[in-house]
Amino acid sequence: MKQAKTCAVIGSGIAGLAAAIRLQRQGFAVTVFEKNASAGGKMSELNAAGFRFDKGPTVLTKPEYVEELFTLCGKRSSDYWNYKAVDPIFHYFFEDGTKVRSSKDPQQLAADVEANTNASASSVLDFLKQSETKHFLTDEVFLQRSLHKIKNYLNWSTLRGILNFGKVDVFRSMDAANSKQFADQKVVDIFNRYASYNGSNPYLAPATLNVIAHYEITLGTYFSEGGIRSIISALQALAEEIGVTFRFHASVNEIITEGNRATAIRTEDRKENFDLIVSNADVYNTYKHLLPTLAAPKRFIEQPRSSSVIVFYWGMDCTFPQLGLHNMFLTNDSQKEYEHLFGTGTLYEDPTIHLTSSSKMNAADAPDGHENWAALISVPHDTGQNWDELVSQSRKRVINKLNGILKTDIEPHIVFEEVLDPPKVTTESGAAFGAVFGNSSNSMFSAFLRHPNFSSKLENLFFCGGTAHPGPGIPLCLLSAKIVSNLIEEKFTPAAE
């Protein structure tokens, strides 16, 4: 028996874990290199003072993409990981007292919108139907396959997309489409917020991104039992069971190349040869730091950056029954907020706050009679701002806004606090410039300007994760790993008889 081909995966974010599982299953001998002490990348967690917080994405959609990895390995996902539906999905709060609840039942959501705003129920149902059509036309073409292989365009699904291109809605911004759709600015703002899911500006991003609402509402939002972090634990356990090797505290300092091939990686203490290399690291950092002698593809890595975040992790010594798992406290002027975020690169005085409290669904995340709050605001990516000053300023604004809407004084109830800001995002997860989502999606061509899942110069180097195609977020990262494994399967024979 000949020895299996070897593969190095750089980084153990969810895409790196998924790629490792798929490639090990295909017959490669996979080693995952992770600079941190544990797997997960942005999907880390904070445990302190009896509270537990997810420090990455908190909204889970398309859990079947996770389940698929277990099925692929002949395992039952329920033996490793479980989840349950979230309903209501979001509680939306406005300063004038308006409240809207987003339900997993489109009819109920539409009724709630009509009862609490000037928008009609029919406008919501029509919007969701349009979003479903966008999903049908774009999923297989833009998300399930590489956009950078000509052969992937020679099929019926692509032709169908071309014939229905107007329904994809790439020539209007999200805001232009939503302003025409809904008779109430509050509802426009609610659906515009989906742009923030990939760090973009709804006044510039194409209305195609309204498809995100289909994922969250029509297809459903779920809660990972034990928190989002439990997905990472389950996938790591699966990977180890099928033979994937993990090396923690192992920073990769260089990808070594010879001719048109990547031949090895260099860590702090050794050089190791591999037949294939998959980078789950930020694409920008992969080129700038791991491939310093290779000319970086400017078309892809010099695109405008996405936004970043400031998150206040607060342990609260009481409970707030008016809150749910996911809560959004919206700004009074969305356009000004985004102008600051992507125009002037400064912080708007009235930020939108996404407040998650996982203890609402997992009581173990906070002591009895307490709640864990993760209060997140979008901020510009890191260009050298004084973040200590901006964090202090933002803390006051967030507390004042929450106090005004909740009609209380929350500060005396904060018994634990930790803060995540853009420099910490960079340090902890390796996101270049603290841009959580890599590049922004603020143009109609943004889908084509994410880095391909393969290198055009090195035939055995591949890319997965939120900074590569198809983009950020748990579902898309998992699809990026699937695309990579398919590309490798097409090109290489991993093991001989």
**DSSP 8-state secondary structure symbol assigned to residue 412:** G
For residues 18 and 31, membership in a common domain is answered with: yes
- 72 in any annotated domain: no
Averaged pLDDT for residues 128-136: 92
For residues 210-222, b (16+ Cβ closer than 10 Å) or e, as one string?
bbbbbbbbbbbbb
Pick from 19, 460, 473: nearest CA to 265? 460
Q: Which two tokens stand for residue 232?
A: 């990472």
Where does the pLDDT of residue 497 fall: very low under 50, low under 70, confident under 90, or very high at 90 and above? very low
- 68 in any annotated domain: no
Task: Please determine, for residue 166, whether its predicted confidence score (pLDDT) is greater than 90.
Answer: no
Q: Which two tokens stand for residue 376?
A: 């997140």
For residues 385 and 463, membership in a common domain is answered with: no
For residues 423 and 390, membership in a common domain is answered with: yes
Beta partners for residue 315, in sequence order: 372, 416
- 320 in any annotated domain: yes
For residues 329 and 273, membership in a common domain is answered with: no
Averaged pLDDT for residues 370-386: 96
- 476 in any annotated domain: yes
For residues 274 and 333, membership in a common domain is answered with: no
Q: Sort strands 90-93 and 99-102 into parallel, antiparallel or unpaired.
A: antiparallel
Tell me what pLDDT residue 404 has: 97
Q: Which two tokens stand for residue 280?
A: 């789950």
Distance, CA of 466 to CA of 469 (rounded, Å): 7
For residues 347 and 421, membership in a common domain is answered with: yes
- 59 in any annotated domain: no
For residues 315 and 410, membership in a common domain is answered with: yes
Distance, CA of 232 to CA of 31 (rounded, Å): 17
Q: Which of 220, 252, 267 is the last residue of a domain?
A: 220
Q: Sort strands 245-247 and 371-379 into parallel, antiparallel or unpaired.
A: unpaired
Tell me what pLDDT residue 1 has: 43
Contact predicate 197/82, CB 8 Å: no
For residues 206 and 254, membership in a common domain is answered with: no
| Full domain range(s) for residue 389 | 307-429
For residues 476 and 405, membership in a common domain is answered with: no
Percent of the chain with pLDDT over 70: 92
For residues 154 and 183, membership in a common domain is answered with: yes
Render pLDDT for 201-215 as a digit per residue (tens, 0 to 9). Answer: 999 999 989 999 999
Mean pLDDT of the chain: 92
- 76 in any annotated domain: no
Q: What is the domain count for the chain?
A: 3
For residues 315 and 363, membership in a common domain is answered with: yes
CA distances from 271 to 256, 265, 267 (A): 9, 6, 6
Percent of the chain with pLDDT over 90: 81
- What predicted TM-score, i.e. pTM, was given to this entire model? 0.93
Structural element, H or E, at residue 31: strand 29-33
For residues 174 and 286, membership in a common domain is answered with: no
Where does the pLDDT of residue 440 fall: very low under 50, low under 70, confident under 90, or very high at 90 and above? confident
Averaged pLDDT for residues 275-281: 97
Pick from 122, 192, 132: nearest CA to 168? 132
Backbone angles phi, psi at 184, to 5 degrees: -130, 130
Q: Is 340 helix (H, G, I), strand (E, B) or coil?
A: helix
CATH number at residue 406: 3.30.519
Exposed, middle or buried by CB within 10 Å (0-12, 13-18, 19+), for 388?
exposed
Render pLDDT for 462-473 as a digit per residue (tens, 0 to 9). Answer: 999 999 999 899
